[in-house]
Amino acid sequence: MDFDLNEEQTILRDNLRKMMDDIATSDYLREHDENGLYPYEVYEKWVEMGLLGLPFPEQYGGYGGDVIDMAIVSEELGRKAYPFLEAYGLSAFSGLTLLQNGSEEQKKHYLPKLINGEIRMSISMTEPDAGSDAGNMRTLAVADGDSWVINGQKVFSTAADAKNNIITLYCKTDNDVPYQKGITAFLVPNDTPGLEIRRLKTFGCNMLGLSEVFFENVRVSDSQRVGEVNGGWQCMLSGLMFERIVTSAGYVGNAQTVVDQALEYAKERKQFGKPIGHSQAIAHMLADMQTNVDASRMLMLRAAVKLSKGENAMREVTQAKLFGSETFAEVANQGMQIMGGYSYMMEYDMQRHYRDARSTTIAAGTSQMQRNLIANTMGLKVR
Ligand SMILES: Cc1cc2nc3c(=O)[nH]c(=O)nc-3n(C[C@H](O)[C@H](O)[C@H](O)COP(=O)(O)OP(=O)(O)OC[C@H]3O[C@@H](n4cnc5c(N)ncnc54)[C@H](O)[C@@H]3O)c2cc1C
């Protein structure tokens, strides 16, 4: 398997790295993390660079990139801070769900706007009583003429309150059919009357924020329905492999930054008259950290290559998500240890990496759910 980047991919990565280094400085990150500010300025630069168009066909204004291109971009964005990848990824994989499941009219209407930055997208699926068991959701849309009236509540919706955001909402449309079969997807602009968004206080991922979203008689037209009525579960699954590759690449990027920063500190910080990195305990920790990050990268690339060939990559993608997120959380924890008391200070980046990393074994499917999925590809039947 060839993991080398071609010339175009190398240029893409280098240009993106330079742009992110210029704009997403440590001060910018600190201010946005501390104050829970969405990174609009950085998103605007991605739009200018054409990154929002990368995974979409030319007929909708995109550039027809493949999953490997997306992995390169995602690792680079994650390298600065995992939440950047989430901001980009939410729009990209919501748009791809629309590409795969939307009507021609919807694609022509929404995709060019997504690509030129007029709109961005997020996902609301989780509810207070339906997390890993997402099919157990209760929010209900009831048909009323050529529109739908929605009532219910979502929770933990990342970036739902960002400007010009359209929520891809998964809700029930039929309570009488078995589990998971009565779900439908709708596109709901976040300023639709009857919709209320309340930001939650979170441990990390503050730049984008997590919100509760309340629906009280929210009326949407049938033209905002994506895919078939009661076909929402399939709609959601259609984007899942892509979502997990992109997030796995983001984990690798941020985890590598953790190792780089911890290594630099270990070379400079002196105790007992020598750099702490010359103590075997610290050196071995760093060696293990880099080895695990490299292994995460290989798993992610293996899955991306398989997916780009159109093959079933369920096991590989899930392994990349599981190992990548656990590695990111683990190296961030070790990075804290290596930087000692300074890591605990808000003026150092390590505490932010640690807080952001801690979400990744929970969000986009918990580690336990990933292990269930992997076991199921091995012929076991776990739920
Ligand atoms: C930072 C962050 C961002 C998020 N962004 C979004 C978003 O944008 N949109 C959205 O819809 N949701 C989002 N979520 C929600 C996320 O998808 C859920 O938190 C996740 O699916 C887990 O659901 P839960 O929190 O209800 O935990 P639960 O499902 O209640 O799980 C609690 C624990 O039990 C374990 N568990 C549950 N069932 C089993 C089982 N059968 N076998 C073994 N263990 C099990 C879980 O692994 C976990 O350890 C986000 C969450 C976080 C933390």
**pLDDT for 1 beyond 80:** no
Q: 1 in a domain, yes or no?
A: no
Q: Give yes or no for residue 239 having a pLDDT over 90.
A: no
For 82-114, what is each residue's pLDDT tens digit?
999 999 999 999 999 999 999 999 999 999 999
| pLDDT of the residue at 269 | 98
Question: 33 and 103: one domain?
Answer: yes
Same domain, 366 and 267: yes
Mean pLDDT, residues 308-324 taken together: 96
**In the structure encoding, which two tokens stand for residue 24, read together?**
């997403």
The answer to whether residue 382 scores a pLDDT higher than 90 is no
DSSP state of 102: S
Percent of the chain surpassing pLDDT 90: 95
- Mean pLDDT of all residues in the chain? 96
If one counts the domains in the chain, the total is 3
pLDDT at 220: 98
Examine the domain organization and report whether 287 and 319 are in the same domain.
Answer: yes
User: Do 216 and 131 have their domain in common?
Assistant: yes
Rounded to whole angstroms, the maximal C-alpha distance in the chain is: 78
CA of 129 to the centre of ligand 1 (A): 10
Distance, CA 195 to ligand 1 centroid (Å)?
23
C-beta of 195 in contact with ligand 1 (< 6 A): no
CATH, residue 275: 1.20.140.10
Confidence band for 295, pLDDT divided at 50, 70 and 90: very high
- On whether residue 89 sits in a domain, the answer given is yes
Residue 2 clears pLDDT 80, i.e. is over it: no
Q: What phi-psi label fits residue 103: left (phi over 0), alpha (psi between -120 and 50 degrees) or beta?
A: beta
pLDDT band of residue 383 (cuts 50, 70, 90) is confident
Structure-model confidence comparison of residues 266 and 239, the more confident one: 266
pLDDT tens track for 165-207: 999 999 999 988 877 899 999 999 999 999 999 999 999 999 9
Residue nearest (by alpha carbon) to ligand 1 atom 51: 363
Say how many C-beta atoms besides its own lie within 10 A of residue 256's C-beta: 21
- pLDDT of 123 strictly over 80: yes
Closest atom of ligand 1 to CA, residue 134: 21
Q: Of 120, 151, 178, at which residue does a domain stop?
A: 120
**Phi–psi pair at 127, nearest 5 degrees:** -125, 170
- Among the candidates 211, 228, 245, a domain finishes at 228
Residue 223 is classified by DSSP as G
Range of the domain at 26: 7-120
Average pLDDT over residues 11-40: 97
Ligand 1 centroid–CA 365 distance in Å is 6
- Give the H/E segment covering residue 241: helix 240-268
Per-residue pLDDT reduced to its tens digit, 46-61: 999 999 999 999 999 9
> pLDDT-based confidence at 149, cuts 50/70/90?
very high
Ligand 1 within 6 A of CB of 158: yes
